[in-house]
Amino acid sequence: MAAGRRGRLSASEQARMKRVYTRRRAVVAVCAVLVLVLAGFSTHAAMGGWRREVAAQPGAMAQTASQQPVAIADADMKRGRVPQVNQEEAARARWTNPTGSQPDLSQYSNLSVDVNLAEQKVYVKSNGKTIYTMIASSGMNDATPRGNYVIQQRGTHFYNASEGMGADYWVRFRGSYLFHSVPTGPEAGDYIASEGEKLGQPASHGCVRLTVADAQWFYNQIPEGTPVTIA
């Protein structure tokens, strides 16, 4: 019985133990709050240090953030140095490429060719309706003969030594008067750019010049005997 009495706490002792336990819980809670506060200050300080580092060395951040835009800008600058080349290519394309979408003339009947000297254009027609229009250069000083003719012989290249020029894909419509490409040198395909750039204005000695692609198409597609009107 004495041992059992010693194992039980009195009411005053139980109250004291409860107070101790409560204080310990309060201390633990305060410590936890302090840990969180200190962690927050540490993070804030680290971020501040990072910002100061970036501010002190802007090149590092700028290099990472703007690396791609700088590459694009460099590419744009490189393209910016090319306009002259592009202009030359565009000028060359004007007298080498087709004027438009070239039709397959085997699908058409009653073909005719009209040369408009005022417009410097050649119109290929079917049953009187225009199916293809080509930019051209006729003779200077009204040297291209007006009138009605027919398509005659043709060839792939000629060279006139007295004039120092030739042409590719020629098609005769009257005597020495031809449809042909922009002028060449002695060799086929050796086109004279300065002459090609005149396309669209009177520039020949009487022949009708066409772009290289149009002259080739005309050579391949226009049948012999097709009527030609020049006015």
> 31 an active-site residue?
no
> Could you tell me which of 172, 162, 163, 184 has the C-alpha nearest to residue 208?
172
CB distance 165 to 183 below 8 Å: yes
Q: Tell me the helices (H) and strands (E) count for the chain, helix number first.
A: 6, 9
Q: DSSP letter at 186?
A: S
CB distance 221 to 105 below 8 Å: yes
Give the whole-angstrom CA distance, residue 34 versus residue 228: 102
Catalytic, out of 44, 157, 205, 207: 207
| First-to-last C-alpha distance (Å) of the chain | 143
Identify residue 122 by its one-letter amino acid code. Answer: V
Catalytic, out of 31, 44, 157, 180: 180
The residue ranges of DSSP E strands in the chain, in sequence order, are 111-116, 121-126, 129-137, 147-150, 154-160, 165-174, 177-181, 208-210, 227-230
For residue 131, give the 3-state DSSP assignment: strand
> 207 an active-site residue?
yes
Mark 54-84 as b/e (b = at least 16 C-beta within 10 Å).
Answer: eeeeeeeeeeeeeeeeeeeeeeeeeeeeeee
| Active site residues per annotation | 180, 207
